[in-house]
Amino acid sequence: MTLIDNGYQKKGELAVDLTHLKTRYVVPDIYYELHGLALQHLSLNDGIPRQTLTTDLMIVVEEGEGLLICDGKINELQYGVPLVINAGHTVEIRMNEEALLSVWLIAFTLHDPERQMSPSLIETRETDTAGFRSIVKRIRAIENHRMAQDRKQRVGIHTQFQRLMSMVLKDTHEHEGEVSSEHTRANISEIITQLKGRYNEEITVDELADQARISKRRFTHWFRQLTGTNLSDYMTTLRMEHAKQLLLRGERMKDVAALVGYRDEYYFNRRFKQVEGISPGQFILNHRKSSSNICVMSCLGHLLALGIRPAAVAKNLANEHYLSKLSASFHKVNSVPLDPQEISYLQPEMILVGNQEEYDTLSPIAPTYIFSQNDHKPFVLLQKLGEVFGKGPEAEKVMKQYERKAQRLRSRLKGMIQSTDTFSVMEIRDDSIYVFGNYWCRGAYNLYDGLGLQPPERIQKELIDRQAYLMISEEQVASYVGDHLFLTVLDSERYQHMSSSIGWQEMPAVRQNQVYMTEYTEFAVTDPISMPYQLDAQMKLILERKMLHS
Predicted structure pTM score = 0.51
- Burial classification of residue 302, based on how many CB atoms lie within 10 Å of its CB (0-12 exposed, 13-18 middle, 19 or more buried): buried
H or E stretch including 380? helix 378-388
CA distance 37 to 106: 4
pLDDT at 400: 94
pLDDT at 177: 37
Strands (E), 137-190: 172-175
pLDDT band at 124 (very low <50, low <70, confident <90, very high): low
Q: What is the radius of gyration, based on Cα positions, of the chain?
A: 32
- Burial classification of residue 364, based on how many CB atoms lie within 10 Å of its CB (0-12 exposed, 13-18 middle, 19 or more buried): exposed
- Say if residues 331 and 291 touch (Cβ distance below 8 Å): no
- Say if residues 58 and 43 touch (Cβ distance below 8 Å): no
pLDDT at 116: 57
Q: Among residues of the chain, what percentage have pLDDT more than 90?
A: 37
Q: 486-499 burial, b if ≥16 CB within 10 A, otherwise e?
A: bbbbebeebbeebe
β pairing state of 100-111 and 56-63 = antiparallel
CA angle 522, 328, 375 (to 5 degrees): 50
pLDDT at 287: 59
Average pLDDT over residues 16-36: 75
Average pLDDT over residues 261-289: 82
Out of 2-6, 256-260, 450-454, which region has the weakest mean confidence (pLDDT)?
A: 2-6
- Say if residues 103 and 54 touch (Cβ distance below 8 Å): no
pLDDT band at 175 (very low <50, low <70, confident <90, very high): very low
Strand, helix or coil for residue 1 = coil
Average pLDDT over residues 372-389: 88
Q: Of 30, 7, 4, 6, whose CA–CA distance to 19 is shortest? A: 4
CA angle 232, 233, 236 (to 5 degrees): 90
pLDDT band at 174 (very low <50, low <70, confident <90, very high): very low
Residue 196 amino acid letter: K
H or E stretch including 103? strand 100-111
pLDDT band at 216 (very low <50, low <70, confident <90, very high): confident
CA distances from 72 to 50, 52, 177, 479, 539 (A): 10, 12, 9, 30, 20
In the DSSP assignment, the letter for residue 106 is E
pLDDT band at 158 (very low <50, low <70, confident <90, very high): confident
Q: Of 251, 209, 254, whose CA–CA distance to 230 is shortest? A: 209
419: pLDDT strictly greater than 70 = yes
Q: Of 439, 428, 427, whose CA–CA distance to 468 is shortest? A: 439
Strands (E), 324-422: 331-333, 350-353, 368-370
pLDDT at 5: 44
pLDDT band at 474 (very low <50, low <70, confident <90, very high): very high
H or E stretch including 143? helix 129-144
pLDDT at 454: 95
Q: Which residue has the higher pLDDT, 52 or 6?
A: 52
Half-sphere CA count of 469, side-chain side, radius 13 A: 19
CA distances from 358 to 255, 362, 370, 524 (A): 43, 6, 9, 20
